[in-house]
Chains A and B, each alone.
Chain A
Amino acid sequence: MVGMTLVSWAFDIALGAALLWLAWRCLFTRNLFESVVLFVAFGLLMAIAWMRLEAPDVAMAEAAIGAGLTGALLMSALARLERPRTGQEEGR
């Protein structure tokens, strides 16, 4: 039993550390694409953290909306930032 507790403590600490590290990298990386990918990874680990906190409802919403759809939205926003608008004069 003590072994199991230790393992779950080690897992939780690793999870928390990974979340903090991903959040840090996501905010401070120069490359926006990388930032979005890190955000999605953060969301997925966050879902695991919610499971560890015995909140499966929140975990499911985090995985589907936080990681999945927000990731897709950020990607499409990124694509629109990089592509010049059509129908108007190009450039500034």
Chain B
Amino acid sequence: MTGVVRWAFAGLLAVLAFGLASVVLQIPGTGSALRSQVMAQLPQSGVDHAVTAVLLNFRGYDTFLELVVLLLALFGAWGLSDSIDEAPLDTDIDVLTELVAFLVPVLIVVAAYLLWVGAYSPGGAFQGGAVLAGAGVLLSLCDPGWRSRRVERIGEVLLVPGVLVFLLVGLASMLLGGQFLEYPRDMAGSLILLVEGFAMLSIAVTLHTLFAGTPRFGGGA
């Protein structure tokens, strides 16, 4: 790279850094009006935790599209990757398999707990899904083919319900007289749990598939 180009880049980066810094400095602190609005509407959201209320109720549309983006990202990754040799990690170390055998059930319980506790305190579908996916990654490290043997097609089928259930709940709330994703008030809590439950499964399978690579459609693994 020639000197002039370098300096031009440096100048552009400096402008970018300056812009970012000035934006950050303009972020209003805890005194912003949104906080009090959220707190005022919280009793009607169906959950007791402000972050979950925003993510799954007030701004449910954003979270819905986030799930769609995650799915599209996976499709993109599938399009790019060839089927890759799944060489097992050559470890005959008992410590690894013993540890994973112990950890995976614990991680499943932790994920379910995170999902459930999201209604009251920090937690929720994304965190739970990530923990489940982590369990899957650990299993894949010990035994790369476990998913294609154990669950065959179910794993791939589970990619979809996160988006699908969210969409159906949104359409159902339209049928019941609200806007898209405007849950009926007395059912909001259970609907959020339903949406989050399926979202957690789909997030977990999506993240794990991103790690484990392309499924071999058509042929047995």
Give A residues with C-beta under 8 Å from B.
56-57, 59-61, 64-65, 68-69, 72-73, 76, 80, 83, 85-87
Residue count of chain B within 8 Å CB distance of chain A: 22
- Known A57-B51, A61-B130: A69·B211 in contact at CB below 8 Å: yes
Besides the contacts A65-B130, A69-B137, what 9 more A-B pairs have beta carbons closer than 8 Å? Answer: A56-B121, A61-B126, A61-B127, A64-B127, A64-B130, A65-B126, A68-B130, A69-B133, A83-B85
Say yes or no: A87 contacts B82, CB within 8 Å: yes
- Could you say which residues of chain B place their CB within 8 Å of the CB of A85? 82, 84
Distance from B55 Cβ to chain A, minimum over Cβ atoms (Å) = 9
Say yes or no: B84 contacts A60, CB within 8 Å: no
- Could you say which residues of chain A place their CB within 8 Å of the CB of B83? 87
Give B residues with C-beta under 8 Å from A.
51, 82-85, 87, 114, 121-124, 126-127, 130-131, 133-134, 137, 207, 210-211, 213
Interface residue SS majority, chain B: helix
Q: How many A-B residue pairs have CB under 8 A?
A: 49
Say yes or no: A64 contacts B137, CB within 8 Å: no
Say yes or no: A60 contacts B123, CB within 8 Å: yes
- Known A72-B137, A73-B210: A60·B87 in contact at CB below 8 Å: no
Distance from B215 Cβ to chain A, minimum over Cβ atoms (Å) = 15
Say yes or no: A60 contacts B122, CB within 8 Å: yes
Say yes or no: B134 contacts A64, CB within 8 Å: yes
Distance from B59 Cβ to chain A, minimum over Cβ atoms (Å) = 14
- Could you say which residues of chain A place their CB within 8 Å of the CB of B87? 83
- Between A and B, 21 residue pairs with Cβ closer than 8 Å are A56-B122, A57-B51, A57-B122, A60-B122, A61-B126, A61-B130, A64-B130, A64-B134, A65-B126, A65-B207, A68-B130, A69-B130, A69-B207, A73-B210, A76-B211, A76-B213, A80-B84, A83-B85, A86-B84, A86-B85, A87-B83
Nearest to A54 among chain B residues (CB) is B30
A80–B80 Cα distance when bound, in Å, is: 13
Nearest to B52 among chain A residues (CB) is A57
A73–B130 Cα distance when bound, in Å, is: 12
Distance from A90 Cβ to chain B, minimum over Cβ atoms (Å) = 12
Nearest to A76 among chain B residues (CB) is B211
A56–B210 Cα distance when bound, in Å, is: 26
- Could you say which residues of chain A place their CB within 8 Å of the CB of B122? 56-57, 59-60
Distance from A29 Cβ to chain B, minimum over Cβ atoms (Å) = 20
Nearest to B208 among chain A residues (CB) is A69
